[in-house]
Amino acid sequence: MDGLLFNPIEINSLKLPNRFVRAATNEYMTDDEDYVTDRQAALYEELARGGVGLIVTGHSYVRKDGKASKRQAAIYDDTFVPAYKRLLERLKPYDARVMLQITHGGRQTKPEICGTTPIGPSPVTDKSTGITPRGMTHEDILDIINCFGLAAGRAREAGFDGIQIHAAHGYLLSEFLSAYTNRRNDEWGGTIENRARVVVKVLRACRLRAGSDYPVFVKLQTDDGIEGGLGIEEAAEIAKILDKEGIDAIETSGGIVESFPFACRTDIDTPEKEGFFISNAAKIKKAVSVPLVAVGGIRSIGVMESIIKDKRADLISMSRPFIREPDLVERLRKGLATKAACISCNQCWHPDGIRCAQVSNTSS
């Protein structure tokens, strides 16, 4: 295996041993109060042992009403820090770096999950649930920004190597970016600059609380997959704004719950179907100066190498393949496999913990 995928890379103070990223994946494995568990720690240890360079956690919610699913990890309070510390302690012997993905679920949740009426930039009914969120006040927005900052400070205190701001997949920050869900006509809506303002302020709050040397990535929405939603041209403008603001790297994704499975497409059985957001990644890469992380249906080593070689992205991120094969990177490195065994069937979601339905010997 030549260097491309196994070359180290330095991003801000983050030193990664190779170009592989375990994409943020909600494991649905926390305890009843949303503290991370030993089961998650064991899964992360398996991933680290399996050679992945960067592990991004599942999305961890920064305020109580930002909870999007049961058994989702939380970071809205200092009390969550010790459990994360214990998890990270187990990963110390390995080269893998770990980032906490921080999120607020916005309108893509339900009162029985988040404990109240879901919130959003505007009261636009979610067609997947029929729920109309409460439109946020200016004060709500300022509080959420502060909560993201506090979460970043906690991530650093816990020992994470950085954070990833979740601004994709139709959750709160992504809702602000899109004219489909953001119908405001104040400073938080309308122009692209106004719609991006909340993410810019979140980035600044994270820098303030966690320090300017602390690596901050963003997972950026590049296509809602819905009529009237955000598309790549606007996303490229947002990426430029974040680049100018000093974001350290951008992971390009797309899709919202209403357009599912746009974010997690099925039947990726040929190289041509792989990398379904790769053209968006390449467009954003051309627009910015920071490293680009490509995600979405990347499966075979030939495709991975060509992405890096053609400078369409700098890192390769995968979610579902690591659920089936936590040791995928080692298998590729040793030449034991040339592609992921994952068949992208989307049967890995499970309320009691992710698992691969294709193999009996799962990690759950």
Ligand X SMILES: Cc1cc2nc3c(=O)[nH]c(=O)nc-3n(C[C@H](O)[C@H](O)[C@H](O)COP(=O)(O)O)c2cc1C
Which spans of this chain sit near ligand X (rule: CB under 6 A)? 23-26, 58-59, 101, 166, 168-169, 219, 253, 263-264, 295-297, 318-321, 348-349, 354
DSSP string, 54-76: EEEEEEEESSGGG--STT--B-S
C-alpha torsion angle, residues 267, 273, 278, 283 (rounded to 10): -130
For residue 216, what are the contacts with CB-CB under 8 A and spacing of at least 6? 12, 152, 162, 163, 164, 165, 203, 206, 207, 210, 247, 248
Using the minimum distance from each CB to ligand X, give the nearer residue, 107 or 169.
169
Q: Say if residues 287 and 281 touch (Cβ distance below 8 Å).
A: no
What minimum distance in Å lies between the beta carbon of 81 and ligand X?
Answer: 19
DSSP string, 165-179: EEE-TTSHHHHHH-T
What minimum distance in Å lies between the beta carbon of 15 and ligand X?
Answer: 23
Q: Say if residues 184 and 125 touch (Cβ distance below 8 Å).
A: no
What minimum distance in Å lies between the beta carbon of 79 and ligand X?
Answer: 21
What minimum distance in Å lies between the beta carbon of 268 and ligand X?
Answer: 7
Tokens of 297: 């249906």
C-alpha torsion angle, residues 188, 191, 192, 196 (rounded to 10): -10
Using the minimum distance from each CB to ligand X, give the nearer residue, 253 or 363.
253
Q: What is the CA radius of gyration of the chain?
A: 19
| Identified catalytic residue from 28, 84, 171, 180 | 171
Using the minimum distance from each CB to ligand X, give the nearer residue, 59 or 184.
59
Using the minimum distance from each CB to ligand X, give the nearer residue, 28 or 189.
28
Helices (H) and strands (E) counted in the chain, each on its own, are 11, 12
Using the minimum distance from each CB to ligand X, give the nearer residue, 58 or 66.
58
| Residue 171 appears among annotated catalytic residues | yes
What minimum distance in Å lies between the beta carbon of 303 and ligand X?
Answer: 12
What minimum distance in Å lies between the beta carbon of 93 and ligand X?
Answer: 26
Q: What is the identity of the amino acid at 204? A: R
By the 10 Å C-beta count (0-12 exposed, 13-18 middle, 19+ buried), 183 is classed as middle
Tokens of 7: 């070359």
Using the minimum distance from each CB to ligand X, give the nearer residue, 181 or 184.
181
Q: Say if residues 345 and 358 touch (Cβ distance below 8 Å).
A: yes
* Whole-angstrom distance, CA of residue 207 vs CA of residue 203: 6
User: Annotated catalytic sites, by residue?
Assistant: 171
